[in-house]
Amino acid sequence: MKKSRRAIALASSGALVASIMLGVSTSSQSSAGTWCSSVKISYFKGGTADSFSDILEKGARQAAADTGADVTIISSGWNFPKMVQQFKEEIVKKPDAISFMGHPGDAAILSAAKDAKKAGIAVDFSNVPAKRSIKELNAGFVGANLGKMGQSLANRAVKDFGIKRGDKAIVVGTFGVKGRSDREDGVVKALRAKGVQVTELNLQAIGENVSGNPNLLTPTLVAAIKAAGSDLKLIVSEGPLLGATPTYFRAAGLEPGQVKVAGFDVGADVLAAFASGHVQLTADQEPFKQGYLPIISLCLQKVYGLAPSSVDTSAGFVTVDNYKIVAALPKGFR
Taking only the tens of pLDDT, the chain with its 334 residues reads 444 444 444 444 444 444 433 333 333 344 458 999 999 999 999 988 888 899 999 999 999 999 999 999 999 988 889 999 999 999 999 999 999 999 999 999 999 999 999 999 999 999 999 999 999 999 999 998 889 999 999 999 999 999 999 999 999 998 877 777 889 999 999 999 999 999 999 998 887 678 778 999 999 999 999 999 999 999 999 988 999 999 999 999 999 999 999 999 998 899 999 999 999 999 998 999 999 999 999 999 999 999 999 999 976 899 999 999 999 999 888 8
Full set of structural domains in the chain with CATH: 40-144+287-313 (3.40.50.2300), 146-284 (3.40.50.2300)
Q: Rounded to the nearest 5°, which phi and psi values hold at 254?
A: -100, 145
Q: How many helices (H) and strands (E) does the chain have?
A: 13, 12
Helix axes 218-228, 245-252, angle to 10 degrees: 50
> What pLDDT sits at residue 33?
84
pLDDT on residue 208: 64
Quote the CA–CA distance of 150 and 144 in Å, as a whole number: 10
Which secondary-structure segment (H or E) carries 288?
Answer: helix 287-304
pLDDT the model gives residue 95: 98
- What is residue 169's three-state secondary structure? strand
Shortest CA distance to 167 belongs to which of 89, 235, 93, 265? Answer: 235
- Do residues 17 and 49 make contact, with C-beta atoms less than 8 angstroms apart? no
pLDDT at residue 5 in the model = 42
Whole-number pLDDT of residue 32? 55
Give me the pLDDT at residue 28, please.
36
CB contact set of 321 (below 8 Å; sequence gap of 6+): none
> H or E element: which one contains 311?
strand 311-312
At residue 27, what is the residue type? S
User: Residue 276: its pLDDT value, please?
Assistant: 98
Would you state the pLDDT for residue 18? 42
Question: What order do you get walking across the sheet with 317-319 strand by strand?
Answer: 197-202, 168-173, 232-238, 260-264, 281-283, 317-319
CA dist list (Å): 250 to 164, 255, 270, 290: 26, 8, 16, 33
134's CB contacts (< 8 A; 6+ apart) are: 102, 125, 140, 141
**Bridging pattern class, strands 141-143 and 311-312:** parallel
Q: How far is CA 172 from the centre of its chain?
A: 15
Helix (H) or strand (E) holding 317: strand 317-319
